Structure 1
């Protein structure tokens, strides 16, 4: 096997030979062992060959350009069970309540900050003097 961290590159002809041997009846595991490659790598080569032909065997590693095949965040409502729909609605409402609580806390602190300077600089009123003994 290859040393850790080092990426081995194989020529297209080598990959084609491996694919033909595996599909010719020898099986993936024996061919992979014979060639000194992983079974997964050989399966990846076979998959790329079937999907893209010879060009698929020379593709670069990493994400490919173009649209990604991501699941939509919410599946079709008809396919979802009533329980799943209710759970999603509960989660949505909990997020909304959380945001509202943050707003309330912010405005409560702002109101306290506005009331403090007014109370500190304001002289005592006449009614409060009358109440004191």
Structure 2
């Protein structure tokens, strides 16, 4: 396993996530950097939810410099989470649309092949009817 790093900056995290999304083996990627696979998945989830990878300190959030009226107008964290969630929703809707188009194309292909099979079986049935000449096999005996 590679030597463990204490701090990985945001640009390096983004690069790792891009490689992860491109299909690289997550275990090998984590081992290369010296972190756990779980950490990569945590970063991915944090990026999807919050839209950034800046480290979030545990504990009490910093005091807001905004006035009391502004703070009470919005539930805690709504403004920060809403935009990335909207982006994720838009991305999900786009993916759903792509998949629906793919299913539609597959249905067209399925209908085409069913019809072709029906024609093939009908021609075969007609050629096997009484009085029709059957296709002959090999003429060798």
TM-score, length basis structure 2:
0.38
Larger-Rg structure: 1
